[in-house]
Chain A
Amino acid sequence: MNGPRRSEKIDLASDSRNLFREIWAYRFALWNLILKDFRVRYRNMSLGMIWSILNPLVMLGVLVIVFSYIRLTSRPEEHFAIFLLLGMIPFNFFSMTLPPSTTCILDNTALVKKLIFPRHILPLSVVLAQIIHVVIQLSLLAIFLVFSRVMPNPAWLWLPLLFLVELGVVLGCALILSALNVYYRDTLYLVQSALAILFWFTPIFYPLSVVKVSLKPWVYRIYLLNPLAGIIDSFRRIVLEGKAPDGMSLGIATGVAGLLIVVGWAIFSRKERLFADKL
Chain B
Amino acid sequence: MTTNQTQAEAPQAQAGQPIIQLNGVDKMFRLNKKKPFLVHDAVRRLLGRGKRGEDFWAIRDVSLSVWPGESLAVVGGNGAGKSTLLSLIAGTISPTRGRVTISGRVGALLELGAGFHPDLTGRENVYLNASLLGIQRDEAEAQFEHIVAYSELQEFIDVPLRNYSSGMQVRLGFAVAIHIHPEILIMDEVMSVGDQSFQIKCSRSIRQFQEEGKTILFVSHSPGQVSQLCRRVIWLDHGRVKMEGPTKEVLAAYQQQG
Q: Which A residues contact B (CB, under 8 angstroms)? A: 1-7, 25-26, 28-29, 31-33, 35-36, 39-40, 43-44, 108, 110-117, 180, 183-187, 190, 273-274, 276-277
Return chain A residues, CB-CB under 8 Å to B251. Answer: none
Q: Is the CB of A114 within 8 A of B102?
A: no
Q: Is the CB of A276 within 8 A of B38?
A: no
B120 contacts A by Cβ under 8 Å: yes
Return chain A residues, CB-CB under 8 Å to B111. Answer: 110, 114
Give, as a whole number of angstroms, the nearest-CB distance from B91 to chain A: 5
Q: CB within 8 A of A44: which of B29, B95, B119, B137?
A: B119
Q: CB within 8 A of B115: which of A35, A40, A111, A187?
A: A111
B135 contacts A by Cβ under 8 Å: yes
CB-contacts of B18-61 with A (<8 A): 29, 35-41
Q: Is the CB of A26 within 8 A of B117?
A: no
* 3 closest A-B pairs by CB: A114-B114, A184-B38, A29-B131
With A and B bound together, what is the CA distance between A190 and B87 in angstroms? 33
Q: Is the CB of B120 within 8 A of A40?
A: yes
Q: CB within 8 A of A39: which of B93, B95, B108, B119?
A: B119
* Pairs across A and B, CB under 8 Å, 19 listed: A1-B105, A2-B105, A5-B100, A5-B102, A28-B135, A32-B131, A40-B120, A110-B114, A111-B115, A112-B92, A113-B92, A115-B115, A116-B106, A184-B38, A186-B37, A187-B38, A276-B87, A276-B92, A276-B93
Q: Is the CB of A115 within 8 A of B114?
A: yes
Return chain A residues, CB-CB under 8 Å to B92. Answer: 112-116, 276
With A and B bound together, what is the CA distance between A190 and B90 in angstroms? 35
Q: CB within 8 A of B128: which of A3, A36, A180, A273?
A: A36
Q: CB within 8 A of B91: which of A1, A108, A111, A113?
A: A1
Return chain A residues, CB-CB under 8 Å to B35. Answer: 185
- Which interface class (under 10, 10 to 19, 20 to 34, 35 or more) fits B? 35 or more
Q: Which B residues contact A (CB, under 8 angstroms)? A: 29, 35-41, 87, 90-106, 108, 110-111, 114-115, 117, 119-120, 124, 127-128, 131-137, 140, 160
Return chain B residues, CB-CB under 8 Å to A180. Answer: 38
Query: Which residue of A is nearest B106, CB measured?
Result: A1
With A and B bound together, what is the CA distance between A7 and B110 in angstroms? 22
Q: Is the CB of A186 within 8 A of B38?
A: yes
With A and B bound together, what is the CA distance between A227 and B40 in angstroms? 29
Q: Is the CB of A117 within 8 A of B134?
A: yes
With A and B bound together, what is the CA distance between A164 and B101 in angstroms? 39
Query: Which residue of B is nearest A186, CB measured?
Result: B37
Q: Is the CB of A184 within 8 A of B41?
A: yes
Give, as a whole number of angstroms, the nearest-CB distance from A4 to chain B: 5
Give, as a whole number of angstroms, the nearest-CB distance from A188 to chain B: 10
Return chain B residues, CB-CB under 8 Å to A110. Answer: 111, 114-115
Give, as a whole number of angstroms, the nearest-CB distance from B149 to chain A: 21
